[in-house]
Amino acid sequence: MAEKNKEKGKRYFLWFILFLLSIYLFITIQERRGYCFDKGAYIHELYTEQELIDRGIEYVVSTMPSNVIEPDRTRSKIKRYASIEEFKQMNPDCLFINHLY
């Protein structure tokens, strides 16, 4: 009898783990498709394409390093963009949104 209960317990535990894994996969897939759980909508429903491009540019401008170490160990100074507008002026046709769905 104790052996049967032990087997049942293992089976229930495996089903529970499978249930948790399926919830995790569902959430991960939804986030990958652009769903924002905090706001309860997809990214393309919340922002225009231009707003998404501007946010991407803002991220690049804010995280761009000021210098780079070359393979020969020399440092090269990089001119940072001062603003989103400057980035757009210097790179007029480089940005677009690729719709995967």
- Of the pLDDT bands very low, low, confident and very high (cuts 50, 70, 90), residue 28 is very high
Q: Are 43 and 52 in contact (CB under 8 A)?
A: yes
What is the reported pLDDT for 67? Answer: 83
Q: What is the pLDDT of residues 62-76, one digit of tens each?
A: 888 888 888 888 888
> 68 — phi, psi (to 5°)?
-130, 140
| Torsion sign (Cα): 22, 31, 29, 56 | negative
Q: Is the pLDDT of residue 101 over 60?
A: no
* b/e map 34-64, b = 16+ CB within 10 Å: beeeeeeeeeeeeeeeeebbbeebeeeeeee
Q: Are 52 and 60 in contact (CB under 8 A)?
A: no
pTM of the model: 0.55
Q: Where are the domains of the chain?
A: 1-43, 47-101
Region 5-19: what's the mean pLDDT? 89
